[in-house]
Amino acid sequence: MTGSLRFLFPALFLVVLTAAPVRAEAPKTVASIAPVHSLLAGVMEGVGSPMLLLKGGASPHSYALKPSDARALAKAQAVFWIGPGLEGFLVKPLAGLSAKTRIIELAKDYKDADPHIWLDPRIAGGIAGTMAKIMADIDPANAVRYRRNAEKLQARLKLLEIEVWKILAPVAVVPYLVFHDAYRYFEKRFDLASQGAVAIDSDRPPGARRISALRRKIAANNIACVFTEPGSKPALAGTLTEGTDARIGVLDPLGSGLAPGPKLYDTLMTEMARSMVACLGANG
């Protein structure tokens, strides 16, 4: 009995030692949009929670900063955003922050006109890696945890990519239109048959001439679906598809209908794939 105790004691000691938390205050971080927040929340899991600027259905293309947002930005040690092509409203407030604040423009190395880079899970994996490095710089005591979290997240994203592939495979050749130019990275990664966007900017609806051109395109190219977005004007989709065989679907590239947190990103991606299949795969 004393023999087994002798073995047990150092083991217990070790458990207590490794579990002892070094509880410094978690670093204060801000993420602009829900998918970026989700990746950052995954990287920071077990240390702290980032603050999310754009909640609910708010559009990054037309958001106006609230005083509480400005206060959160002023206190932040790191701010993660996509870049001026998406969150134009952040350009000025970020320029006014203290030089000590780390500002990470995630789309900096992407030159495409479409700034919605997170819709490619491989890019999301890269973003997680960048986040872990920045967080380790700010908070070296938790560097290992950030790195492990990012590695776990990247492994999960690889599986997610395969899952989304499988969901989309049956409709990959079916032509469709989207409401705004947000899906190039998604379409390229999953090899989809997009025929373009109705409007370049989600907040600038197309004019009458563009609408009649689109109606001709829908008929000529056998467009199966026109995908709107949460908060966009459904009347426009009706005008576009009226008298054609095209159906109306909804895509939510920001996860505006989902609960923010580490799981949001995966759900956003699978939900988008399912919404596409629900519309493109329907027999009409």
CB of 256 to Zn ion, least distance (A): 11
Q: Which is nearer to Zn ion, 176 or 183 (CB)?
A: 183
Tokens of 257: 């209908």
Which string of b and e fits 229-244 if b means at least 16 CB within 10 Å?
beebeeebbeebbeee
Candidate segments 7-15, 182-190, 191-199, 214-222, binder of Zn ion by CB under 5 A: 182-190
CB of 180 to Zn ion, least distance (A): 6
Candidate segments 43-51, 88-96, 135-143, 178-186, binder of Zn ion by CB under 5 A: 178-186
Q: What is the largest CA-CA distance in the chain?
A: 89
**φ, ψ (nearest 5 deg) of residue 250:** -130, 130
Q: Which is nearer to Zn ion, 146 or 185 (CB)?
A: 185
Candidate segments 34-42, 76-84, 179-187, 258-266, binder of Zn ion by CB under 5 A: 179-187
Confirm or reject binding of residue 82 to Zn ion (CB under 5 A). no
Candidate segments 23-31, 131-139, 177-185, 241-249, binder of Zn ion by CB under 5 A: 177-185
Q: Which is nearer to Zn ion, 118 or 146 (CB)?
A: 118
| Dihedral in degrees, nearest 10, Cα atoms 128, 129, 134, 139 | 90
What span, in angstroms and rounded, lies between the C-alpha atoms of 123 and 85? 17
Confirm or reject binding of residue 226 to Zn ion (CB under 5 A). no
CB of 61 to Zn ion, least distance (A): 6
Q: Are 265 and 52 in contact (CB under 8 A)?
A: no
Q: Tell me whether strands 176-180 and 102-105 are parallel, antiparallel or unpaired.
A: unpaired
Q: Which is nearer to Zn ion, 108 or 216 (CB)?
A: 108
Q: Which is nearer to Zn ion, 123 or 150 (CB)?
A: 123
What span, in angstroms and rounded, lies between the C-alpha atoms of 37 and 168? 25
**φ, ψ (nearest 5 deg) of residue 205:** -65, 155
CB of 74 to Zn ion, least distance (A): 26
Strand, coil or helix: 93: helix
Candidate segments 127-135, 181-189, 222-230, 236-244, binder of Zn ion by CB under 5 A: 181-189
Confirm or reject binding of residue 182 to Zn ion (CB under 5 A). yes
Q: Are 182 and 119 in contact (CB under 8 A)?
A: yes
Q: Are 120 and 191 in contact (CB under 8 A)?
A: no
Written as one letter, the residue type at 240 is L
Q: Are 174 and 118 in contact (CB under 8 A)?
A: no
Q: Which is nearer to Zn ion, 117 or 182 (CB)?
A: 182
DSSP-based helix, strand, coil % in the chain, nearest 5: 50, 10, 40
Q: Which is nearer to Zn ion, 65 or 138 (CB)?
A: 65
Contact string 258-277 vs Zn ion (x = CB under 5 A): --------------------
Using Cβ positions, the residue closest to Zn ion within the complex turns out to be 182
What span, in angstroms and rounded, lies between the C-alpha atoms of 101 and 29? 10
Q: Which is nearer to Zn ion, 112 or 245 (CB)?
A: 112
Size of the site for Zn ion (CB under 5 A): 1
Q: Which residues bind Zn ion (CB under 5 A)?
A: 182
